[in-house]
Amino acid sequence: MKLLTKSLIPAAAAALLLTGALATAAPAAAADCPSGHFCAWEHTNFDGQRANWSGDDGWWESWIADEDSSWANHGISGPGIPDHVKVYSRAHQGGHMTICLAPGQEVGYSAAANDDGDSHTWAMSC
Amino acid sequence: MPRLPPLPLRALCAAAAVAALTSGCASTPGSVRPPDVPAAERAGDDLLKSAQHTLVTRCLQARGLTLDRKASVAEDRRLQAALFGSGPSELSLTLPTGHTVTAHTDGCLADARRTLYGDDERSWFTAEVTVNNLRAEAGARMNEDPDFQEALARRNRCTAAARAAAPERCAREEAELAEVRSRLEPELLAEVRALRDKELTAYRQLRNRALHRALDVVPARS
């Protein structure tokens, strides 16, 4: 179950979002993503099949590449430990960064990044 | 392919790094000098992460949990709830890129952040999420740029025609796309940074406050 595709997002909606932070309905439950891992789900609100990684992946498997609809960073922080996750629109950390998540942050859906991720890397910061 | 060690090893690395960070910089034996906030960003990051790690470890210990051992699936779910929080997320911010980033306020991680960044967790969350995604916001703007769209379409047409068998045929299109991207990126980033100046200022102020608090959390350097 996908929420929206990029092509369905009108410019007016994007412009509205640019006006600032908007409160939206949060997912009903926390994401089930193993401690120390970054997770991506094929459906919104952490539903459907889940991919999880404790390290980098420059080329997501085909079932999740461009099929990702929600994400969670359950990385563990520590000095010298890369605990932020950057998601990219193309393989091998190419294209543009679609989102960067600090530990504990989750994205139940995204109008823009839905079905857009191809790779990710852990980083010290965004 | 995973490049980082698995969680238990990473936790051990973190513990070792905390020890290294907090036991260095010895001055005269027996004397304790007031510690300074690190000037370098990376050193500041390490100080904040050390303090957060210390606070999280203490909080988990109080709940009979630890980061350092391999847990079963059921144990890890308990750890996840204690560390990251559970139930509906209390913090939520929709970014101009369309992402709605959420976080919880009831776990040990949120507790640690309250100690470091203050009780107004909504302000810190808004500043952090916004600043962390300035590059992503600039990327979203790039997608709307006609020059970029044109270069991307040319490259995509070429790769579709050449297929994977001869990707080198599209080297010129790839180079043109890279050139447009590297030309647009700095100006779009500057544009976005100017637009988010309020959040950037709040981020710097809250981070600076957190650095001072972190010095009280990690063991004193002596």
CB contact under 8 A, B45 and A125: yes
pLDDT level of residue B4 (50, 70, 90 thresholds): very low
Partners of A37 in the β-ladder: A74
Q: Name the maximum alpha-carbon separation found in chain A.
A: 42
Domain ranges of chain A: 34-123
Among A17, A76, A96, beta carbon nearest to B7: A76
Minimal CA–CA distance to B142: which of A90, A96, A15, A19?
A: A96
Q: Do residue A77 and residue B56 have CB atoms under 8 angstroms apart?
A: yes
More reliable by pLDDT, B169 or A35: A35
CB contact under 8 A, B109 and A83: no
Phi, psi at A96, each rounded to 5°: -120, 160
Q: Is the pTM of this model over 0.95?
A: no
Q: State whether A111 and B98 contact (CB < 8 Å).
A: yes
The Cα of A41 is separated from the nearest Cα of chain B by a number of Å equal to 15
- Residues A65-113 have pLDDT tens digits of 888 889 999 999 998 899 999 999 888 888 888 889 999 999 987 666 5
Are residues A105 and B129, on separate chains, in Cβ contact within 8 Å?
A: yes
At B90-105, the pLDDT tens digits run 999 999 888 899 999 9
Residue labelled with tokens 């959420």: B102
Who's near B47: CB < 8 A, 6+ residues apart? Answer: A79, B21, B37, B38, B211, B214, B215, B218
CA distances (Å), origin B176, targets A116, B155, B172 = 22, 8, 6
- Beta carbons of A99 and B99 less than 8 Å apart: yes
> Which residues of chain B lie closer than 8 angstroms to A29, CB-CB?
86-88
Q: What is the pLDDT of residues B37-68, one digit of tens each?
A: 888 999 999 999 999 999 999 999 999 999 87
User: Please, which residues bridge with residue B92 across strands?
Assistant: B102
Single-letter code of the amino acid located at B195: L
CA–CA separation, A72 and A75 (whole Å): 9
Complex ipTM: 0.78
Which residues in chain A have their CB less than 8 angstroms from residue B7's CB? Answer: 34-37, 54, 76
Q: Give me the CATH code for the A34-123 domain, please.
A: 2.60.20.10
User: How many Cβ pairs closer than 8 A exist between chain A and B?
Assistant: 201
